[in-house]
Amino acid sequence: MAKLDAETRNLIDGKLVPASNGGEFENINPATEEVIGVSADGTKEDMESAIAAARRAFDETDWSTDHALRKRCLEQLNQALVEAREDLRQIVIAEAGSPILITYQVQVDNYIDAMPYWSNLTTSYEYETPMSDIEFMGSPQGRIMRREAVGVVGAITPWNFPLYLNLAKIGPALAAGNTVVLKPAPDTPWSATHLGRLVAEKTDIPPGVLNIVASSDHELGAMLSRDPRVDLVTFTGSTATGRAVMEAAAATVKKTFLELGGKSATIILDDIDLDLAAPMSGIAVCTHAGQGCAIQTRTLLPRARYEEGVEKIAAIMSGVAYGDPLEPGNLMGPVVSRKQQERVLSYIEKGKQDGARVVVGGGTPSHLEKGYFIEPTLLADVDPDSVVAQEEIFGPVLCVIPYEDEEDAIRIANNSIYGLSGSIWSGDIDRALSVARKIRTGTLSVNGAQWFDVDTPFGGYRQSGVGRENGVAGFEEYLETKIVAVPR
């Protein structure tokens, strides 16, 4: 791979800057284990400066009230993203190990192309709407509802879809008139810092409106959750860290918007052609090596057709193409780090100890000498209460579970602390829809239909999160509501 010209400095108060102490940390390509470069290792002082700059920009400039300025700036950002598209693609592939195949969809292109959705909302959204009059002590009262920016937004993102998630937070937060401090995951700093270069060099976004602080220190995320100058924290990551963010934010009663983990189920009903349904559940779990919160990682098969279903899923998982993320035919690359590789392998071991049968994979591939790869792994006969059926593995590991009847399938699907996504396969769409109404998750797909788009509110029930990302509902997460009463 050619050397990437990625930005390595942080963006603080309008300037691209090294860390305050000059520190840097290594960026590692998970497919080759090679150091591809460094990133400024943001310090606590840097985070202090970034929060102060964002506060000042919100309080002392007209960013939050000048809709035309915001529209122009976000259109410039959109144009800059379009021009930098291929650089960004290579960055995401190199630091996240993402297969190039999915960069043409959600990982890179979908969200660059989605930016006009946010820039348009700067002016098309109704920020002020009259309400119907009410009567108070005999006289009519008018009311106006205003929607205003919340203030300073702390945005904390993970490594699995780094560019998409950075843009999914920056886009609506800035469009709504907030100022932002973005702290990306340490494994994927450039998907954020490179955006800083585009903002500094290609847009009129005023200093302090967007700050980007990459760091190897997770504590900088915790600083955002605690700081009284930050009004809202938008976080995507694990449920464990989400709880920590919520707890830290409680001290200043900060609004929190959390997109967390998932353990979504595919329910294959007994009236569907298994040749249609089974392969999809095997392929889905291998996409980006299973590192997607909404990926279905449990497949529920009717007891009567269980062995047949397991065989069909095994056949497809055994043939999944994986390896070099730059190879266009590969559906999966590595997991993001040695730490994640060890974590996924330890889950497979735990599954075996708890009685699961390894039908496909189960370890690291022998044909790939370098890289944090995991074999596509099919675990059958999984106890729905066991650790592998309950905890998020975040690797290409599918748990197959038999069920007795429809009610049993719904019960097993809902037997989770999570509630993010899922899918249902049936020969009868009405039957599938009636099952969908009983599943407690934020998104569902029937017979492989796709729900994802920038205007689809996405998020979870239960411990999969609080709030919705994308769509008008997602935009409104970044707005306060003010009611002004006026005499009639």
**Interface ranges with ligand NAD (CB under 6 A):** 156-161, 183-186, 218, 221-222, 225, 236-238, 241, 244-245, 259-262, 293, 392, 394, 420, 465
Closest distance to ligand NAD from the beta carbon of 419 (Å): 11
In 15-157 the beta strands, taken as DSSP E runs, fall at 15-17, 24-28, 35-40, 128-136, 139-149, 152-156
Q: How many CB atoms lie within 10 A of CB 133?
A: 13
Nearest-angstrom CA–CA distance, 150 and 339: 37
Active-site option among 7, 95, 259, 392:
259
Strands 15-17 and 10-12: antiparallel
Q: Is 259 a catalytic residue?
A: yes
Q: Which residue is nearest to ligand NAD (CB)?
A: 221
The nearer residue to ligand NAD, 152 or 272, going by C-beta atoms, is: 152
Cβ partners under 8 Å of residue 27, min gap 6: 35, 36, 37, 38, 39, 95, 189, 190
Closest distance to ligand NAD from the beta carbon of 184 (Å): 6
Q: Which of 182, 167, 208, 203 is nearest to 64 (CA)?
A: 208
Nearest-angstrom CA–CA distance, 42 and 7: 14
Q: Is 286 a catalytic residue?
A: no
Using alpha carbons only, give the angle 418, 254, 204 rounded to the nearest 5 degrees. Answer: 100
| Amino acid letter, 153 | V
Closest distance to ligand NAD from the beta carbon of 225 (Å): 5
Phi, psi of 235 (to 5 degrees): -130, 135
The nearer residue to ligand NAD, 117 or 394, going by C-beta atoms, is: 394
Q: Tokens 């089974």 belong to which residue?
A: 278
In this structure, which long-range contacts are made by residues 113-116, counting pairs with CB atoms below 8 Å and at least 24 apart in sequence?
114/167, 114/171, 114/453, 114/454, 115/74, 115/77, 115/78, 115/81, 115/167, 115/171, 116/75, 116/78
The nearer residue to ligand NAD, 222 or 284, going by C-beta atoms, is: 222
Closest distance to ligand NAD from the beta carbon of 441 (Å): 11
The nearer residue to ligand NAD, 156 or 382, going by C-beta atoms, is: 156
Active-site option among 7, 73, 286, 293:
293
Q: Which residues lie across from 268 on neighbouring strands?
A: 425
Catalytic residues: 259, 293
